[in-house]
Amino acid sequence: MRKLVALPVLSADALSSVAYGPEAMLTVLVLAGSAGLGWSLPISGAIVFLMLAVGTSYRQTIRAYPQGGGSYIVATANLGRVPGLVAAAGLITDYVLTVAVSISSGLAAVTSAIPSLHSAVVPIGVAIIVILLIANVRGVRQAGALFAAPTYAFILAIALLVIVGLVDATGRGFHALPRPALHATQAVTLLLVLRAFASGSTAMTGVEAISNAVTVFKPPEWRNARTTLSWMIGLLVTMFVGIIVLVELGGIVPEHSQTVLSQLAHQDFGSGPLYVYVQAATALVLLLAADTAYNDFPRVMFLLARDRFAPRPFLKMGDRLAFNNGILALSIVAGLVFFAFNGNTSSLIPLYAVGVFLAFTLSQAGMVVHWWRLRSGGWRRSILFNGIGCVLTAIVFVIAAITKFTAGAWVSLLIVVVFTAVALLTRRHFDRVAAATGLSPEASASEENEETPSQFSNLAIVPVPYLNRVTVRALAYAVSLGQPVLALHVSPTEEEAKRFREYWADWGNHVPLEVVKSPYRAVIPPTVAYIEALHAQRPELTLTVIVPELALRHWWQRLLYEDFATRLRRSLAELPMVLVTSVPLHV
């Protein structure tokens, strides 16, 4: 990918974060009224410093992991299994919340312009998640131009907003407009400031995307990726600072019914077409950001499944080469989270920062270890940059976890713990199975840990409810295998049993017949009981139950029959020496 195509695709997630990050910070500060909002500039300065530090840190990662260095890979390689899984768990919560927050924030941009849609936010959001699910399963590729457009449109929108806003401010000599009267419900405390900082730092979610995807760039990949990362950080800082400055100059106060960006756009452009353009571009770039999680989440699940930390179905690609199970899992979890939090951005924000900064921290800690182990040219500088990034993001993680704990961070922390535990248990299961089923190194068919054909003494059992072409076919197949065959008939009464034996004799008595009594006409239980008894009596025999079956073309035809083979298979699953196969007759 060329840099100018990769930039919008890979930075949609990061750049769109300025739509909710500044607002999340202001929403906390306004609780302390004007005095609280006065802290907006210093906190923003800290966030900008954080952006630059993390950007510099990820430049190191790109150089070290030109094949793509996601947090899970870097943390696992340098810190070990558990930190790697914790990083993966952080990423998982990050991606789920990227979907939920991006959609809720995108819908806030829409309802700011069309307030009547406010009550329909939850169903619309769920519908969008369903559409993303279908689109991604169908394999919508990130086709360059189409996916580049929203990001560039959004950059242009913020640029216009900031320029027009600054020109207006110049006209009045940079005097800030007066804020509406505010009623402070809290004092300015350290806790409040830290909470505002943690909320505002969600403005940098998504900056890791480029370092995950170095391979999509044109060669030299790592150099192009680094350049693009620098551009992205530059844009992110510029847009973030621009918005914060406009908020200060415009005397903007966060409102419930309208986003901060919408207020700024109204101030600059009234309610005309440019206002509509800003809102539409914001909604579209956030939709694109949500879509990027549909690429990232299934890939992490794939990596975990490949390393046997997650169920195998996450390895599977669908017909369109998409990881359908990962896409489905993300949709369900993100849909539930969106629904549970009523599609409300400010309720979701406390959950968001924890996962993101946990993954950041572990990734950069991994990089510090990486450079220390390598100690090649310039390692001291690299350790310095990654070390600063690691310490700063660790501080943000701790601040977010503590100051937002009761507001929702506990949910993310719980998910991280449970996810890590489940991953470890999954791995333990697979390891145990591998140990139990592995062959010894110099395996040969004669060794004791393998079964040989001569150990199998076969008997085929064919359940025969009637004598017709279906059952005769199964009998013929059973006989053709050249092993002993026994036909099994279940009969409710002695007379019916006698009658069936006569049919059997008329037919030619080709196969030995056993008749089992079942006064209540049940078929499965007496069949199972007979096979279990036979197994108990002759445990050395391998019993192959060959079930005659009618092959049905339509699903509704299958409703007309009992699925004898499946039910028998389930009932006999516990017996190691019993196999069930079905012989279909197509009519």
- Per DSSP, the residues of 207-273 read TTHHHH-GGGSPSSHHHHHHHHHHHHHHHHHHHHHHHHHHHHHHT----SSS-HHHHHHHHHHTTSH
570 lies in the site for a copy of itself, by CB under 8 A: no
557 lies in the site for a copy of itself, by CB under 8 A: yes
Q: In 114-143, where does DSSP find H-type helix? A: 121-137
Candidates 171, 173, 377, 508: give the one binding a copy of itself (CB under 8 A). 508
**Site residue total, a copy of itself (CB under 8 A):** 71
Cβ nearer to a copy of itself, comparing 177 with 418: 418
Candidates 82, 163, 402, 551: give the one binding a copy of itself (CB under 8 A). 551
Candidates 34, 395, 458, 541: give the one binding a copy of itself (CB under 8 A). 458
Least Cβ distance, residue 457 to a copy of itself (angstroms):
8
550 lies in the site for a copy of itself, by CB under 8 A: yes
Cβ nearer to a copy of itself, comparing 220 with 438: 438
311 lies in the site for a copy of itself, by CB under 8 A: yes
Q: Are 203 and 52 in contact (CB under 8 A)?
A: no
315 lies in the site for a copy of itself, by CB under 8 A: yes
Q: Is the dihedral of CA 468, 470, 473, 478 positive or negative?
A: negative
Kindly indicate which of the ranges 102-110, 192-200, 243-251, 572-580 contains the residues binding a copy of itself, using the contact rule CB under 8 A: 572-580
522 lies in the site for a copy of itself, by CB under 8 A: yes
583 lies in the site for a copy of itself, by CB under 8 A: yes
CA dihedral 218, 220, 221, 222 (to 10 degrees): -160
Backbone torsions φ then ψ of 49, nearest 5 degrees: -60, -40
313 lies in the site for a copy of itself, by CB under 8 A: yes
429 lies in the site for a copy of itself, by CB under 8 A: yes
457-463 and 485-491 beta bridge pairing: parallel
Kindly indicate which of the ranges 82-90, 379-387, 413-421, 478-486 contains the residues binding a copy of itself, using the contact rule CB under 8 A: 478-486
Q: How far apart are CA 566 and CA 584, in angstroms?
A: 13
Joined tokens for residue 76: 């696992």
Q: Are 394 and 359 in contact (CB under 8 A)?
A: no
Least Cβ distance, residue 133 to a copy of itself (angstroms):
20
Query: Of the candidates 463, 435, 439, 434, which has an alpha carbon nearest to the alpha carbon of residue 449?
Result: 439
**Ramachandran quadrant class, 509 (left: phi over 0; alpha: psi -120 to 50; beta: rest):** left
Kindly indicate which of the ranges 208-216, 230-238, 373-381, 465-473 contains the residues binding a copy of itself, using the contact rule CB under 8 A: 465-473
Least Cβ distance, residue 468 to a copy of itself (angstroms):
4
Kindly indicate which of the ranges 1-9, 194-202, 515-523, 531-539 contains the residues binding a copy of itself, using the contact rule CB under 8 A: 515-523
- Residue 294 sits at the vertex; the CA angle it makes with 290 and 299, to the nearest 5 degrees, is 140
Query: Of the candidates 197, 196, 188, 227, which has an alpha carbon nearest to the alpha carbon of residue 210?
Result: 227
Residues 215-254 binding a copy of itself (CB under 8 A) are none
114 lies in the site for a copy of itself, by CB under 8 A: no
